[in-house]
Amino acid sequence: MNTIYMFLETFFPFDIIQYDFMKKALLGIIMITPLLGMLGTMAVNNKMAFFSDALGHSAFTGIALGVLFGVKNDLISMIAFAVLLALIITRVKSSKAASADTVIGVFSSTSIALGLVVLSIGGRFSSYSQYLIGDILSITSTDILVLFICLIAVTIIWGLIYNKLLIISVNEDLAKSRGINSMLIENIFVVLVALVVILSIKWIGILLINSLLILPAASARNISKSSRQYMVLSVLIALVCGIAGLITSFYINTSAGATIVLYCSCVYLITYIMRNKK
């Protein structure tokens, strides 16, 4: 850890980096943002902005279920519920019984309501409100390690399924004719999104996590000319906005998650103008 800290001190010439919590926060951001930028590319391609929003909201029910069943680590109950919800939504969506928007809307509002009802029993909700906006400064070394393992694992799985996801996103019939099991690949993808969204919620907040998944990819898409450019730009935008947002939030004393998202919004605006100028 000390070596990493020294490394950070050399590369980030800000006096705030001398605080240990700031170093940890910075490491956390360096783990989270590339993940969100990477998965965001396909979430935007497949028009899943609303879907990932619903996953974020499901965190409330996840925490609530954890409280009900006495699960000590609320991360486990949150992930379990989000993964379950992601798989159910994908299933219902593919049966085409109702429009995807409606299906996701129903699940999203139900899981918020259920979570709020359970958590507000006896007026205890205020102790959970930290999840709404998140707090990256409270991240611990163990959390960083978990995020690091997640970053490695998700990147490997992502590499394995990316080409198949790309073909599916262009034409599902074609994917099937090439022997791609589109249901399996899509399920793997939504589980990855659920995992990453939930792991980041404590640090970024339920209200903003979706913006951090969608905005970098949407910005990169405005100016990219190939699949690689798209992903590289999306990851870079997420990373740069993440670091800039964190440092800025320290100096002007604001919520880190919200400041990062504001940076992302500015980048989106700039790329949008760049695209329209062409």
Partner 1 sequence: MPTNNGCGLCKVCVSHLSVVRGNETILNDISFNINCGELTAIIGINGAGKTTLLRAMLGEIKHEGNVSFEGHDGLVLSKITIGYVPQQFSFDKSSPVRVSDFLTASRTNRPVSFFGSNSSKYNVHESLKQAGSAELAGKMLGDLSGGELQRVMLAQALYPVPELLILDEPLSGVDHAGCEQFYDSIENLRKNYHMPVIMVSHDLQLVNQYADKTLLINRDLLFQGKTSHVFASRQFEQTFKSGGFKL
Q: List interacting residues with partner 1 (CB under 8 A).
A: 41, 45, 47, 158-160, 162-164, 166-167, 169-171, 173-174, 176-178, 221, 224-231
The two tokens of residue 63 are 């925490």
- Closest CB to partner 1 among residues 5, 176: 176
In this structure, is the dihedral angle defined by the CA atoms of residues 103, 106, 107 and 108, taken in order, positive or negative?
A: positive
Residue 231 contacts by C-beta under 8 Å, 6 or more apart in sequence? 37, 38, 41, 220
CB 131 within 8 A of CB 257: no
* Dihedral, CA of residue 71, residue 108, residue 220 and residue 227, to nearest 10: 80
140/163 with CB nearer partner 1: 163
Locate 261 and state its tokens.
Answer: 């998202």
With respect to partner 1, which residue has the nearer C-beta, 128 or 230?
A: 230
Comparison of 52 and 271: residue with beta carbon closer to partner 1? 271
Side-chain half-sphere exposure of 62, counting CA atoms within 13 A? 30
For partner 1, which is the closer residue by CB, 36 or 262? 36
Compare residues 71 and 223 and give the one whose CB is closer to partner 1.
223
Contacts 24+ apart (CB under 8 A), 196-199: 196/35, 196/36, 196/39, 196/150, 196/154, 197/52, 197/55, 197/56, 197/82, 198/55, 198/59, 198/62, 198/75, 198/78, 198/79, 198/82, 199/32, 199/75, 199/79, 199/146, 199/147, 199/150
CB 103 within 8 A of CB 52: no
The three-point CA angle 49-36-208 to 5° equals: 60
Residue 272 CB, nearest approach to partner 1 (Å)? 12
Whose Cβ is closer to partner 1: residue 40's or residue 205's? Answer: 40
Q: What span, in angstroms and rounded, lies between the C-alpha atoms of 41 and 161?
A: 13
